[in-house]
Each structure stands twice: as C-alpha cells, then as structure tokens.
C-alpha cells in the first residue's frame, strides 16, 4: 500500500515535471513501488531540464517499468486526475462521464462492485470501497497517487437519502447511519486529499455535492438535511483554510434529480400524488418548469472544476430550476 507520505512524494515530483514541461502529466502504468515512481519522475524532470524539450508525448521507462504520459492538452483536463465518490450511479456517474469527456483520468470510489468495470478507458480506475471504511479510503488515495501520479480534483458525492421520518420518530441509529455515510467520510477524503491537492500543477479543486435541502430543508428529512448542512459548513471551512494553497472548494445544491438511484418510480408517484400532480408536473415543480437531469448536474460540476471557476472559492450554487424558497 502507498502511504500518505509516499503519495505526497509522488505528487511533488509530478508537480516538478509539470513545471518543467508546462503542463500536467499522468503516470500511465503502475509503478512497481512508490520509490520507482519518485525516481522515474525525478529522472524525467532532469531530462526535460537538460534537453529543454517539451515533447507532445513521453514514454519514459523507469526501472520499475512504468511510463509517463504528457499528451497535448486537446481537452480541458488532459493530464489531470480526479477522484469521485459514489460514481457508480446517478449524479456521480454523470460527473465521471463529464470528467472523462474533458480528458481527465478518473478514480471512482463506490460500494457497488460494478464500479470496477464501469468505464473501459485506460484513464479510469474504479475502486470497490464503502466510504465508511476509513482505511479503505486512505488506501484508495494511495492507489490514486501510485496509479496516476497525484490528484487535481476531488468530488464529494456519495450519499444516501433515507425514507422520510419526523423528528419525534427518528431513531438515533437511523440518524447515525446517515451521518456516517453522508458526512464523516468527507472529512477523511478532504484530509487525505489535501497533501495531494496542494501539489496539483494547476491548483487543486474540490466540489461538494450537497443538496437544496441545505438552503430549503424538507420536513421528514432531519438527518439528511443536517448531514448536508454539516458537509457544506466543512467545505466552507476548507475553502478558508486552503485558499493559501490555491485550492478552491465550492458547493453545489441540486434539487430533485429523478434519473438517479435515490428516486424509484413508486416514490415518485407517491410524492406526485401527495401534491395532487402528475409525475411529469411534479418533476418540473420549479420556477423555470424544467426537469433537472443527472447529466446536467454532472456537466455543471465538471465546469465548476474547470477554468471558468478559477477565481471562485467557497460558493454555494443551487441547481434547481429556480426556487421561490431560495431566491
């Protein structure tokens, strides 16, 4: 297992290569050991500095037999590495797609074992892990550095939406479960990512997928709303603390996104009936009268990680079709 300090050592070397070359690079095949990765990247920096060349692509074979890829940046995130939690379904999956389309290498953490084979790209690494497993998250961060050389973007997305329960009936165990999945792992991921994000050649970026519930809470969702409010507050503190490192942390608050695992046809029908609406009317119950789809939110989050947001940190953006409870 690659330890946190070994991961940071690899990421530091990757940053040096990027400085010498003028753009970020990936490791494209697994280095046998972390020190092979460090040695290989050091050698590459020296090579670039000596020859003064910035070639379109480099296959630098280190003793451990790994290569480094420094392709021409045809797409926004070429050479950069993203880690997404909960990307086997719904919004997280759409984020992974949007990042791959923009050229990033993506590490996807999910409790669904299908995550491992979800995308065929050589720049995709799916890791089957429960986000409540702290040691598993630390190992995943090490695997990210060892496999691709560092971390540039982090998307905190994994979450559950439990059945509605009013506070007078809310069991402590049900409350705990929501916070254990929706909140606690995000501390671990932020903490473990920080050393790597600090070394990101174009500065690290984080997006937290919170919820409209933070700004406009719903009855029956005390645990969910509290978990999302807490992760929002943690992200705001991270924005304050990490600005000196150039790391940006922003928050997105989607309202209901129906093409996700959180929503079943039965729940949708029941909620629509509760308001005396058809399912179609219920899906568009916002000021603009639009349905917000996971693909839209995925692209939105990818853009928040990109150059358009390079001067923005600590903001919260609702993606909800307009809400008279929030405006």
Ligand X SMILES: NC(=O)c1ccc[n+]([C@@H]2O[C@H](COP(=O)([O-])OP(=O)(O)OC[C@H]3O[C@@H](n4cnc5c(N)ncnc54)[C@H](O)[C@@H]3O)[C@@H](O)[C@H]2O)c1
Site for ligand X in 210-229 (CB under 6 A): 211
Per rule CB under 6 A, is residue 159 in the interface with ligand X? yes
Q: Which residue in 94, 85, 35 sits closest to 63, CA to CA? A: 35
Q: What is the DSSP letter of 164?
A: P
Site for ligand X in 250-289 (CB under 6 A): 254, 256-257, 260-262
- Choose the catalytic residue: 124, 203, 224, 296: 224
With contact defined as beta carbons under 8 Å apart, do 38 and 13 qualify?
A: yes
Site for ligand X in 111-140 (CB under 6 A): 111-112, 130-132
Strands 153-156 and 205-209, bridge-based pairing: parallel
Per rule CB under 6 A, is residue 232 in the interface with ligand X? no
With contact defined as beta carbons under 8 Å apart, do 324 and 255 qualify?
A: no
Q: Which residue in 310, 300, 320, 232 sits closest to 94, CA to CA? A: 300
Stretch that binds ligand X, among 36-44, 104-112, 186-194, 300-308 (CB under 6 A): 104-112
Per rule CB under 6 A, is residue 193 in the interface with ligand X? no
Task: Identify which of residues 34 and 254 has a Cβ nearer to ligand X in the complex.
Answer: 254
Stretch that binds ligand X, among 68-76, 107-115, 119-127, 278-286 (CB under 6 A): 107-115
What are residue 263's phi and psi, to 5 degrees?
Answer: -105, 125
- List 110, 150, 183, 321, residue binding ligand X (CB under 6 A): 110
Q: Could you give the residue ranges of the DSSP H alpha helices within 122-165?
A: 134-148
Burial group, residue 136, by CB count within 10 angstroms (0-12, 13-18, 19+)? middle
Per rule CB under 6 A, is residue 161 in the interface with ligand X? yes
Number of Cβ atoms within 10 Å of the Cβ of 243 = 13
With contact defined as beta carbons under 8 Å apart, do 149 and 70 qualify?
A: no
Stretch that binds ligand X, among 54-62, 162-170, 192-200, 249-257 (CB under 6 A): 249-257
- List 158, 197, 302, 305, residue binding ligand X (CB under 6 A): 158
Task: Convert residues 81-100 into a mask of x (bound to ligand X by CB under 6 A) and - (unbound).
Answer: -----x-xxxxx--------
Number of residues binding to ligand X, judged by CB under 6 A: 26
Report helix, strand or coil for 226: helix
Per rule CB under 6 A, is residue 175 in the interface with ligand X? no
Instruction: Give catalytic status of residue 224 as yes or no.
Output: yes
Bridge partner residues of 81 (DSSP): 105
Point out the residues that are catalytic.
Answer: 224
């Amino acid at each position: 297992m690659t330890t946190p300090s070994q991961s940071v050592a690899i990421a530091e070397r990757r940053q040096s290569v990027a400085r010498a070359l003028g753009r970020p690079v990936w490791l494209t095949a697994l280095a046998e050991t972390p020190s092979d990765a460090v040695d290989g990247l050091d050698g590459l920096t020296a090579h670039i500095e000596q020859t003064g060349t910035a070639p379109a692509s480099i296959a630098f074979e280190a003793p451990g037999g790994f290569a480094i890829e420094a392709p021409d940046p045809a797409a926004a995130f070429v050479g950069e590495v993203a880690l997404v939690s909960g990307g086997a379904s719904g919004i997280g999956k759409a984020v992974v797609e949007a990042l791959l389309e923009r050229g990033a290498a993506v590490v996807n953490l999910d409790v669904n074992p299908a995550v491992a084979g979800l995308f065929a790209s050589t720049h995709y690494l799916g890791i089957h892990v429960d986000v409540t497993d702290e040691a598993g998250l630390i190992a995943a961060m090490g695997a990210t550095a060892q496999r691709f050389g560092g971390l540039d973007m982090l998307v905190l997305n994994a979450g559950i939406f439990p059945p509605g329960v009013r506070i007078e009936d809310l069991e402590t165990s049900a409350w705990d479960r929501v916070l254990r999945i929706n909140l606690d792992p995000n501390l671990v991921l932020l903490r473990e990512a920080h050393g790597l994000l600090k070394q990101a050649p174009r500065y690290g970026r984080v997006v937290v997928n919170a919820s409209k519930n933070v700004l406009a809470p719903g009855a029956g969702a005390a645990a969910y709303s509290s978990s999302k409010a807490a992760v929002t507050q943690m992200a705001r503190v991270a924005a304050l603390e990490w600005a000196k490192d150039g790391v940006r942390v922003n928050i997105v608050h989607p309202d209901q996104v129906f093409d996700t695992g959180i929503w079943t046809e039965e729940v949708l029908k029941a909620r629509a009936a509760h308001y005396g609406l058809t399912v179609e009317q219920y899906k568009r119950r916002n000021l603009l009268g639009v349905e917000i789809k996971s693909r839209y939110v995925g692209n939105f989050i990818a853009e928040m990680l990109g150059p358009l947001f390079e001067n923005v940190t600590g903001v919260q953006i609702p993606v909800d079709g307009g809400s008279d409870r929030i405006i």
